[in-house]
Structure 1
Amino acid sequence: MNSSAPYPTAIAPRDAFDPLVEPRLYDGVLSRRVLAFCVDFFVVLTLTAIASVVIGVLGVFTLGLAWLLYGMVFPAAAILYSGATLGSDRAATWGMRLTGLTARLWHGGKPGFVIAAAHVVFLYLSISLLTPFVLLVGLFTRRKQLLHDLVLGTLFVDRGLLEGRA
């Protein structure tokens, strides 16, 4: 094997997400993530309301057995919504698309369904334990990552700049 590659070597994907190399990718990310969270929370609440009505009707037909699912409606809606949207080819929930953000893994790949589902679980756990203080972590990290982002190796960047539109 020779050490020279027949093709030019590309920059490693993780170098493209270095805030020292491209700091504009992270401009305004935290504030846009807060807005995206609000939009996504409303979408999940809407999905929860729809699922609750369906469970209510099913409960009548199953003599109340389906009503046992009420405790799992919100977590299931949040996990399925995030897994389907954040884990998709666009790598963004509807709120993130609205605010111009996209998710990437530390090495540049897009998160799949499992990482996206774990992301929302860790997000709600960290918010319930640390409330607004979870945002403080983002002020001190170079890539504006929150605590659950650091655990999962995810980061959020400006979609327009990443795709070369800005």
Structure 2
Amino acid sequence: MADSGFNNANSDNSAEFRPHAFDPWMQPELFRGVLTRRFFAFLIDLLVLSVPVIFGVIFIAMFGVVTLGLGWALFWLVSPASLIWAIVYYGASLGGPHSATVGMRIMDLEMRTWYGEPSYFVLGAMHAILFWISMSIFTPLILLLGLFNGRRRLLHDMLLGTVVINNSALGAVAQPYRT
């Protein structure tokens, strides 16, 4: 009987199982206070996101006054530009060298994949998109999910396979296994 390759553990195209890099029972310091600090990091990031949008709205308003109302036609750009700005901000900051947004860096948090690798741009952008979708569909009560799991992961973290950890505690614990 010919081997179909489905159960071949040595084949190059087979998926590897990677265990979770961060264990909440063995390394509780990585997850201590994460939900509270995530909340304040979110508020800081909202401030960072809103400042350029507010300046853009003020510019359009003043431009409208100077052009006798013609510039106010640019107000339709505020919503799409805000959305693009938020996706680029989260993608670039979470996919950057710190794997954290400005608020997360201030609160000493870092986002990693479940197997311990740093985040990347697409993962950071999808993290923001799934957060806003889950918040708009399931209301903020979905945030209670983080209270009932050891890694303090929220719904969008579970869907994307990410975990947010204390950055300062990461240096104190052993680094995850790298292949």
- Measured against the shorter chain, the TM-score band is 0.7 to 0.9
Deviation at 1:75, TM superposition (A): 1.3
In the alignment, what sits opposite 2:24? 19
Aligned ranges 1:50-89 → 2 under 5 Å:
50-53=55-58, 66-89=74-97
Deviation at 1:21, TM superposition (A): 1.8
Change in Cα spacing, 1:73 to 1:13, as seen in structure 2 (3 Å) is: same
CA contact (8 A) 2:57 2:78 kept: yes
Change in Cα spacing, 1:15 to 1:154, as seen in structure 2 (3 Å) is: closer
Give the Cα–Cα distance (whole angstroms) in 1 for the partners of residues 150 and 156 of structure 2: 15
1:141 pairs, out of 138, 149, 152, with 149
Amino acid at match of 1:151: L
Give the Cα–Cα distance (whole angstroms) in 1 for the partners of residues 120 and 23 of structure 2: 22
Aligned ranges 1:72-111 → 2 under 5 Å:
72-111=80-119
Structure index of larger Rg: 2
Identity of aligned residues (%): 38
Judging by fraction of residues, say which structure has more helix.
1
The CA RMSD measured in Å over matched residues stands at 2.3
Give the Cα–Cα distance (whole angstroms) in 1 for the partners of residues 150 and 105 of structure 2: 23
1:38 pairs, out of 22, 26, 43, with 43
TM-score (norm 2): 0.75
Amino acid at match of 1:152: L
Amino acid at match of 2:98: R
Change in Cα spacing, 1:111 to 1:127, as seen in structure 2 (3 Å) is: same
Give the Cα–Cα distance (whole angstroms) in 2 for the partners of residues 119 and 111 of structure 1: 10
Q: Match of 1:121, SS?
A: helix
CA contact (8 A) 2:21 2:114 kept: no
Residue segments in structure 2 that go unaligned for 5+ positions in a row: 1-16, 174-179
In the alignment, what sits opposite 1:120? 128
The answer to whether 1:159 aligns with 2:167 is yes
TM-score (norm 1): 0.81
Deviation at 1:52, TM superposition (A): 3.5
Q: Match of 1:157, SS?
A: strand
